[in-house]
Amino acid sequence: MRKKHHGGAEKKYGRWSAVAIEQEGYIAAVNTPEWDVDQILCDALRYLHQHCATGAMHNSDERFPPPSCHPGTRQVALDLIISWYGHKKRPKKPFMWVHAPAGYGKTTVAQTVSNQLEVDADVEFNPLAATIFFWRTSSNRNNPSHFVATLAYQFAMSIPELRPLIEHAIKHDPMVVDKSLEVQLDKLIVEPFKSLQIESMPNRLVVIDGLDECINSVAESRIEKKYAEDREHVQVRVLDLLQTLQSHHVPLSFLILSRCEPWIKRHFESRSFQDLVEIVDLYKAENHLKDVEKLLRAEFTRIAKTLDYEPGEAHEDWPSEEQMQALFRTTRGHMLYAATVIRHVDNLYDDPRQRLQDIISGAPPSTTGIVHSTPFSSLYELYRQIMRSCPDGCRTLLTQVLEGILASEWCFNQRTSILAALRLLDRVSGRAPGRGMKVLRALHAVLRPVDGEDDAQDPNPRALDFFVHSSFAEFLENPQLSQQFSVDRQQGYKRLSLGCLECMSSITMQSVVWGSEPEDHIRFAVMNWAWFWAVWRPINEEEYLEYLPRFLQVNLTASIVQALSLEPQWPLQPPAPSCTKGSLS
């Protein structure tokens, strides 16, 4: 009987698989003559499947319909990825990290690459080894507990040579799926690969999307999850697992897509990773405005064909070119916002023309139709999720920093880097240097890049945009949308007004405020204190009384003289004269 089944395994899986099975004594341990190698292997794979996060795979029903790039968009990123992967040949660097702020199409890029490689698969070779799409609101997809098992299961499906070896590892130790991720990696993936002649194997691609969405250390918890504290640890752990796997020179390349969280960026730039990874900034690589225009024109052409007209009513061109240009400016190249607008306008129970006009005309987000629109509700829930990522102990400081940002946005121009602006606001607000930037780490998903390199080339500077899209600022100031995360711009005016007076209290006719860099906060104070005072609306007499002693400490004449002495080349700017309180609050 042993020879019969030994030969069957050898015929189907190759001599090495039958030898491996016999070495562990599985054939000798079987007590029934009806025992079948194929059945044992099938059961092992089914057991592994039960411990996978199958919903995380690119073609899972949980993700249906999956997002994908609109034809002709994201072409730069797609070409870079496919060129780097190089099909069967291994690239010089086994990792590629594609990062961008929230809503700039990272997941659609990952899905499109996965779909394209899946189409290229044939009977002999599947270039797509595995895919995992993390998602923070799914208990199966927001933690790494099933990460290795999910990879191993997909490897068993996409790499025929590995399948019997992975199944054999399960049969040898069924409890391996409950051990540490590091042990699982070694037993389910590394050791099976080592049993093969990996030098002659073709290279395959592993796609890991939404690493920043991996936020919990365990799938279930009886206490409230503190994922703001967990997420840095678990995301770095996933990277370390992948690096460990790659260190064994397995024939795999790894495409990782995420937001540019500081700890992920720091890990990729560390000494152990820097020579292994290609880094692509999707925010800079693509022409987002052009991609958004392609998407909007195609989708509104489709929607226009569904419009109902009254008998005899002229079939006007909709949207007009003027409306389209206004919409392009509204989206700012933000693909998620553009897609949200399309889903909101494309409504069978309302007039798409009116819905589009409401958005273009700047209808406030408190408008009932927009607040309760399913697409916009999803956008605002994304923003709430991002706000939840800030640890509880930092929430008060985060609120104060955000209020200062909203209150001062017109005090800076686009040539000022966000990092410089935040440093200055720290000084004026009396915070320790760098404190504002540090607390905003949780919001990097919606914060514009801090270096300001591109903005410095802008020949027509305008007010500094701290966030990748204005909808986030609108969200913050509307309690109906942001709920417990709402902020009050008026508190920002008050805090900065008092901070400016504190900075100005040391000014005399003999002092010099335009000398070295540390004096920038005094420059800011003398140029902006009057404007903050003008737009601030104290809610009661106590707030006025709090302000008065600070005001009396200031040498107003000296402050005005110093303000008039400031050179026009200074990169900061006083608020635009047209920016009255009514236009800001």
Q: What is the CATH number of the domain that holds 107?
A: 3.40.50.300
Q: Number of H helices and number of E strands within the chain? A: 29, 5
Residues 266, 293 within the same domain: no
Q: Same domain, yes or no, for 99 and 20?
A: no
CA distance 44 to 329: 55
Place of tokens 């903005």: 455
Is 157 a member of any domain? yes
Based on the fold, state whether residues 211 and 249 are members of the same structural domain.
yes
Kindly state whether residue 377 falls inside one of the protein's structural domains. Answer: no
393 lies in some domain? yes
Q: Are residues 127 and 195 in the same domain?
A: yes
CA-angle at 351, arms to 345 and 356, nearest 5°: 40
3-state class (DSSP) for residue 543: helix
Residue 373 included in any domain = no
Query: Is 499 a domain residue?
Result: yes
How far is 86 from 261, CA to CA, in rounded Å? 28
Q: Which of 363, 397, 421 is where one domain is finished?
A: 363
Task: Provide the CB-side half-sphere exposure for 75 (13 A, CA).
Answer: 8
Cβ neighbours of residue 203 closer than 8 Å, sequence gap 6 or more? 85, 86, 87, 88, 89, 90, 91, 251, 252, 253
Taking a C-beta distance cutoff of 8 angstroms, is the pair 300, 319 a contact?
A: yes
Contacts of 320 (CB under 8 A, 6+ apart): none
- 83 shares its domain with 23: no
Locate 539 and state its tokens: 């809610």
Specify whether 311 is located in the same domain as 416.
no
Q: Is residue 164 located within the same domain as residue 27?
A: no
Domain stops at, among 244, 269, 285? 285
What pLDDT score was predicted for residue 111? 94
In a domain, 379, yes or no: no
Same domain, 183 and 324: no
Based on the fold, state whether residues 448 and 420 are members of the same structural domain: yes
Q: Which of 285, 313, 345 is the last residue of a domain?
A: 285
- Residue 174: per-residue pLDDT: 87
pLDDT for residue 205: 96
| Radius of gyration for the alpha carbons in the chain, expressed in angstroms and rounded | 29
280 and 310, same domain (yes or no): no
First to last CA, the chain: 84
Q: What's the structural domain count of the chain?
A: 4
Tell whether 10 is covered by a domain.
yes
Nearest of 231, 199, 203 to residue 217 by alpha carbon: 231
Averages of pLDDT over each 10 residues, the chain, 585 residues: 40 37 37 43 79 86 81 90 89 94 89 92 87 86 92 94 93 90 96 93 95 75 52 92 96 95 92 93 86 91 84 75 89 85 82 85 54 70 84 90 91 82 90 90 78 45 75 89 91 90 74 55 81 83 74 70 57 47 31
What is the domain range of residue 439?
386-584
- Total residue length of the chain: 585
* Domain assignment present for 568: yes
- Dihedral of CA atoms 326, 330, 335, 341 in degrees, nearest 10, equals -80
Asked whether residue 396 falls in the same domain as residue 487, the answer is yes
- pLDDT at position 518, please? 42
Alpha carbons 388 and 391: distance in angstroms, whole number = 7
Where would I find the beta strands (DSSP E) of 259-319?
277-281
Same domain, residue pair 133 and 236: yes
Dihedrals phi, psi of 521, to nearest 5 degrees: -65, -30
